[in-house]
Amino acid sequence: MYKIIRSKSPLRIGLAGGGTDVSPYSDIYGGAILNVTINLYAYTSIEPTMDGKITLISADRNEMASFSSAEKLPIDGKLDLAKGIYNRIVKDYVKKPLSFTLTTYVDAPAGSGLGTSSSLVVSILSAFADWLNIPLGEYELAQLAYEIERNDLKMAGGKQDQYAAAFGGVNFMEFFGEGKVIVNPLRIKTEYLAELNNNIILYYTGTSRLSSKIIERQQDNVQDKNVKSLEAMHKLKEQAVMMKEAMLRGQMDKIGEILNFGWEYKKQMAKEISNEVIDNIYESALQSGASGGKISGAGGGGFMFFYCPGTSRYNVIKRLSELGGEFRRYQFVTEGAISWKF
């Protein structure tokens, strides 16, 4: 018997199309996203036990909960992601209580805009699937993660994060009605990716936010047929295609311009996406040499990133360091969720 089952899944940077993967927009109009995974991860370890207990530990958040083994754990606001996944695994696959200790750790704070929650769900599911020999391919893994978050746990959000975590790499994703998703891996030349990695700086504003509130406002705007918000989402879908073409052709000088185009429209999707602090950071980056950027994820706080052509990254880093945030070193990665036993 294996002593421990481990897994990890990458976080992501959403380069273009953010928000068009959220229902009901994606169901009605279809969405498009371009994202890339980075070497920040959600980690999971499962240690099977024989003591008739379930222990859940979130090491990065200093949270722990322990239960007697049962077929269903209470969803009560504490470690609900892990409990929701366990409940679904038992209900759909093993049909009996399990006994184990589950420990998780994420390399970025919750609410930081890098897809942490969904990557964590994919990571936990991947570990359970390895332990229990549940055959889940990338699409099945991502879809199950989506169903647990959005349907079982009623968490507002889109679809891109689960697929990014499961597949890894640079992907152009298309979203259609009835929940259909197509992931198109992009074959970007090594030198193009190296230039992109060099020129995009990742900046943590020092604040997190509850993305569900912003996403709910976006959903309301679609349902209410808010013309300004809908037009912004249409433009962001166009932005994803523009970004794909620029990256495939190596037109790196256009990346910042395309990011800036998207940022101007993203702010129109919901008024909570930006604020005075974020606007100040953005303008400071442009004045220091960045050609464009955006907030990562739904908005309101968390990480921002900027495209800095030439050698302007050093001036941008120097200026933004004075505003109280911090830079995070990263590299693009091509591998999605992986699991192993030991």
Q: d(Cα 25, Cα 218) in Å, to the nearest integer?
A: 9
The Cα 127–Cα 85 span in angstroms is 11
Q: Which residue has the tokens 């739904």?
A: 298
Collapsing DSSP to helix, strand or coil, 54 comes out as strand
**Cβ neighbour number for residue 273 with a 10 Å cutoff:** 24
Active site residue 161: yes
Strands (E), 119-169: none
Set 92, 161, 253, 279: catalytic member: 161
Concatenated DSSP letters for 228-263?
HHHHHHHHHHHHHHHHHHHHHHT-GGGHHHHHHHHH
Residues in the chain: 342
Q: How far is CA 225 from the centre of its chain?
A: 27
Closest CA to 15 of 293, 318, 219: 293
Tokens of 254: 């256009």
Active site residues: 161
